[in-house]
Amino acid sequence: MQIILMLILGLVLSGCWDAKDINERSFVMGVAFDLPDSGEGHVMTIEVPVLQSFATQSGGSGPTSVLFATEGTSVAQMATHFESRTWRELFFGHTQVVIISEDIARKDIRPLLDFFDRNPRIDRRLTLFISQGEARQVLETKDPREPLVSVYLNQMLNTLTNTARVVKQNFQDSLRNLENNGDTVLPRVRTSGTEVVIAGGALIKDYKMIAWLGENETRAVAFLYNNISGGLIAVNINDILYAYAIRSASSEIKPKLKDNELTFTIEVKSEGDIIEVYYENAAGSSSFNIPEIEAKLNDLIINEIHHLVTKLQDLKTDPIGFDRLVYRHYPKFWQEHADEWKDVIFPQAKFDIKSTFRVRRTGIVEKEVVDES
């Protein structure tokens, strides 16, 4: 009985066996990877907050974060280098962003992801970026409104998701896509003077970047990912610009196999409002045709998705996951043709793209609105 009591007391009173004092840890908020001048290995840069700056209430002018850099082969090796220099354990549980330079991405991003995938403390909601230019420069770009660059990047990405200029994927989503077929689209980040710009995406094939996607192409990806929560689309009709704000959007992709020929039907739907009508002539038009605007929006999105799909077929890459749909709906066909999906089957597939946009509100009370529907 005494032995059992001692065991129970030991469990209750022992606390966390691996607990560490906050001063014994360096909290890594952001990580950037670049190629060294030699071209071999990697340069790893981390952003670590200066905790004393956040604890001070006097509003001092000291730095809120510091950057450390080291060179090595593997992420684990470079993390050990940091710890030997700072005498503190690196803690990745609060990491917000991992930025990989274009130079590395065009070689292979897989070796850098393994460390984060295996680390049980990694927040799976962190974001992977591909930088146009040096990744370190992104972490060096300070914004006076946010003391930590990594937090600022994540906040900016969440805001821009509502503009459909980027595709929002957390670490878990990115890994799931990559582990499926090695293909995905990751958000692009770059510096412009003293600012950070997030727009467009990096097209990844077999864990290697093969091309940049522009903002319109990225918007098409977001539609196909069902990853649209807002955004603005402008259409021009008779030299009048109509600004359509997306309030809701969805897409559905259905494969059909007939005579060993694949056809994908893509249906996009959206509801939104006209929030601005711009024309250079002050007299302007006092009325506009809602069905005409909807038809213009439909044509625009159909053309954007068609352009994207054609580009993906030409590059023989499938970041959307059309292969998964074939696997689910036609497992026998998939089993017979899986090995030739990217090189033969997908490039030859046909696409039927449909779009239904609806203008629900115009914001105009006194002006005449023509609705012929």
For residues 247 and 191, membership in a common domain is answered with: no
Q: Is residue 5 part of a domain?
A: no
> Using 50, 70 and 90 to split pLDDT, how confident is the model at 38?
confident
| pLDDT at res. 6 | 45
Summarize pLDDT for 207-217 with one digit per residue, the tens.
999 999 999 99
**Judgement on whether residues 258 and 268 belong to the same structural domain of the protein:** yes
Rounded percentage of the chain residues whose pLDDT exceeds 70: 86
Which residue, of 213, 247, 263, is where some domain finishes?
A: 213
Which of these three, 186, 213, 240, is where a domain ends? 213
Residue after which a domain boundary falls, among 173, 193, 213: 213
Query: Domain tally for the chain?
Result: 2
The residue range of the domain holding 46 is: 23-213
Specify whether 105 is located in the same domain as 203.
Answer: yes
- Residue 25 is predicted with a pLDDT of 78
Contact 286, 372 (CB under 8 A): no
187 and 237 in a single domain? The answer is no
86-141: per-residue pLDDT in tens? Answer: 767 899 999 999 999 999 999 999 999 999 999 999 999 999 999 999 999 999 99
Give the domain CATH number at 249. 3.30.300.210
The DSSP secondary structure of 206-247, one letter per residue, reads TTEEEEEE-HHHHHHHHHHTT--S--EEEEEETTEEEEEEEE
**Same domain flag for 246 and 360:** yes
Q: Is residue 2 part of a domain?
A: no
Residues 102 and 247 reside in one and the same domain: no
Q: What integer pLDDT is reported at residue 373 of this predicted model? A: 54
Alpha helices in the chain (DSSP H): 2-14, 51-55, 75-86, 102-105, 110-118, 135-140, 149-160, 171-181, 215-224, 290-315, 322-329, 331-337, 346-348
Pair (284, 139) in one structural domain: no
Separation CA 43–CA 137 (nearest Å):
12
pLDDT of 53 reads 62
Residues 167 and 196 reside in one and the same domain: yes
Task: Express each pLDDT in 285-298 by its tens digit.
Answer: 556 799 999 999 99
